[in-house]
Amino acid sequence: MGKVRLSVWVDREIYNLFKEFVFKKHGKLHGVFGLELTRAMELYLKKEALSKR
Amino acid sequence: MGKVKLTVWIDEETYALLKAYVVRKYQKLHGVLGEEVDRAIRLLLSLESQENPEEALFKTVKPSRKYIDLLRWLYDKGQRDELITDTAIKQYIRFNLGVKSKSSIYSYYNFAKMFLVEEEKTEDKVTVFSVDIEKVEKYAKIHNIELEEPARTTVKEPEPSKVTIRGFEVSLETIPKKTPNQSALAEIVMDLYQSGYSASEIVNKLEALGLNISANRVLNIIRKELKNEFI
């Protein structure tokens, strides 16, 4: 599946927490940061779609 | 609170979905995409910080009557070890639950996906799932849902039938054998057309479902739908 570059401004504290979370989970950031962010977005979209019902 | 620029490579499809969602919600992207990404990260962190994130997600999704029907249908499939396709799920949502709009069908489909395991994606772009019974039971337990009750249906359940699509056996039991209304028929035709079937193949598939429709009519439906899409 293709990848695209996302560039956005986010809350610094949240960014740091997220980085910490990804590093704790995978022991690295490179190659997995985007995967975790994709997962976060999928979860968010799912939750939003479901909460509409 | 300070902001920091987040630049990352992400899945193209998910990004497109997020953009579409943001545009629907705010009628713009600039200045709000970051907020939504921010919310997505917060959600993930809050779910992951709990002992069981899946359970936390299940708790946030309250079951409506139709969700319960869909859950029971999935449970039934899971108990019989049946594989189901994305199309069969959408057909069930449309014909048995009576959900008409595409966005609502998509929402119910997303709900179903919480309990599904993707087994295969065929060459015909058909996704085949199995049902994770444990997840269904877990969700049912959280919301005190009795899974054994028969599902409420608005359309009489047709005789189970299966067709083989390019060597792959697909359950079509949720498609009613009566002639569906025009928009439902158009949707079925377009589903098949977008899966790469020719008009004559579509006629054969519809015949297998008990729908006798001429190739000319199929072509007319495809032309009309493509024209509508283009407009």
- B222-227 average pLDDT score: 82
Does some domain include residue B193?
yes
pLDDT value of position A1: 62
Preferred mutation among A1, A5, A7, A8 to probe B, highest tally of B CBs within 10 A: A8
| Number of domains making up chain B | 3
Q: How many CB atoms lie within 10 A of CB B186?
A: 18
Dihedral of alpha carbons B159, B163, B169, B174, sign: negative
Q: Is the pLDDT of residue B95 over 50?
A: yes
Same domain, B114 and B165: yes
CA–CA separation, B187 vs B26, rounded Å?
A: 29
Angstrom distance (rounded) from CA B48 to CA B80: 33
Distance from CA of B217 to the nearest CA of A (A): 35
Out of A33, A45, A48, whose CB is closest to B8?
Answer: A33
- The span from the CA of A28 to the CA of A21, in Å, is 10
Distance from CA of B49 to the nearest CA of A (A): 9
B97 to chain A, minimum CA–CA distance in Å?
Answer: 14
Q: Is B3 domain-assigned?
A: no
Q: For position A14, what pLDDT does the model report?
A: 86
For residue B71, the model assigns a pLDDT of 92
Please tell me whether residues B215 and B117 are part of one structural domain: no
Determine phi and psi for B10, rounding to 5 degrees.
-130, 170
The label of the residue with tokens 């608005």 reads B154
Chain A, chain B: beta-carbon pairs less than 8 Å apart: 140
Whole-angstrom Cα distance, residue B165 to residue B120? 14
Check whether residue B107 and residue B210 sit in a common domain. no
**To which residue do tokens 């039971």 refer?**
B137
Query: What residue in A sits closest to B30 (Cα-Cα)?
Result: A8
Helices (H), B5-101: 12-26, 33-49, 53-60, 65-79, 86-91
The ipTM, to two decimals, is 0.90
Residue with tokens 């997995």: A32
Q: What whole-number distance in Å separates Cα of residue B128 and Cα of residue B196?
A: 17
Residue A33's pLDDT is 92
Q: In this structure, is residue B55 part of a structural domain? A: no
pLDDT single digits (tens) A1-53? 688 999 999 888 888 889 888 888 888 888 899 999 999 998 888 888 776 65
Nearest of B163, B74, B89, B86 to residue B120 by alpha carbon: B86
Q: B159 pLDDT exceeds 60?
A: no
Q: Across residues B148-156, what is the average pLDDT?
A: 55
